[in-house]
Amino acid sequence: MPRLTAWGRLGRARARRRVRGLVQRWRSSLQLRVLVSTLTIGLVALAVIGGYVGEVTRAGLFDQRLKQVLFESARGTEQTQEVLAASTASTFTDVARDLQDVTTAQRNGGSGERDVFMLRAPGQTGSIGVGATATDPSLVELVSRDLKQAVADGGQHWQSVAIPAVDGGAEPGIVVGQEVDVPMAGTYQMFFLYSLKAEQSQLDFLLRTLTFAAVAVVALLAGMTWMVTRRTVHPVRRAAHVADRLADGHLSERMTVRGQDEMATLARTFNEMAEGLQDQIRRMEDLSRLQRRFVSDVSHELRTPLTTIRMAGEVIHGAREAFDPAIKRSAELLATQLDRFEDLLADLLEISRFDAGAAVLDAEGRDVRDIVLQAVDNATPLAVRRGSWLHVDLPDVRATADVDPRRVERVLRNLLVNAVEHADGSAVEVRVGVDATAVAVTVRDHGVGMTQDEALHVFDRFWRADPARARTTGGTGLGLAISLEDAHLHGGRLEAWGRPGRGACFRLTLPRRAGIVLDGSPLPLVPDQDAQPAADAQPLRSTDPAALPDLPPMTGEIAIVSNPTDPVRTDVRLDDAPTASSAARRRS
Beta bridge partners of 297: none
CA distance 531 to 540: 16
Architecture of the CATH domain 263-351: Orthogonal Bundle (1.10)
Burial pattern 353-372, b for ≥16 Cβ within 10 A else e, equals bbbeeebeeebeebbbbebb
pLDDT at residue 554 in the model: 30
Nearest to 76 by CA among 118, 139, 123, 129: 118
- Give the dihedral sign, CA 514/518/524/526: positive
Where exactly are the structural domains of the chain?
A: 89-199, 263-351, 362-528+535-584
CA distance 261 to 566: 77
Single-letter code of the amino acid located at 325: P
In the DSSP assignment, the letter for residue 139 is G
Whole-prediction pTM:
0.45
- Give the dihedral sign, CA 213/219/223/224: positive
**Whether 493 contacts 509, CB under 8 Å:** yes
Q: Which residues contact 188 (CB under 8 A, 6 or more apart)?
A: 99, 118, 119, 120, 121, 124, 179, 180, 181, 182
What is the CATH topology of the domain spanning 362-528+535-584? Answer: Heat Shock Protein 90 (3.30.565)
Q: What is the separation of C-alpha 426 from the centre of its chain, rounded to a whole number of angstroms? A: 45
CA distance 475 to 464: 11
Beta bridge partners of 163: 171
CA distance 155 to 350: 113
CA distance 105 to 99: 10
Q: How far is CA 232 from CA 30, 35, 190, 256, 263, in A?
A: 10, 12, 71, 14, 8
CA distance 42 to 62: 30
Beta bridge partners of 572: 541, 560
**Whether 527 contacts 505, CB under 8 Å:** yes
What are the start-end ranges of the E strands in 121-207?
A: 133-134, 157-164, 170-182, 186-195
Compute mean pLDDT per 10 residues along the chain, 588 residues long, and list them: 61 80 77 83 88 89 90 89 81 81 79 81 64 84 90 90 85 91 84 89 89 88 84 80 83 82 82 86 80 70 76 82 84 80 72 69 88 91 88 91 90 90 88 92 90 81 60 61 87 90 91 87 79 39 35 31 32 33 30
Q: Domain 89-199: what homologous superfamily?
A: PAS domain (3.30.450.20)
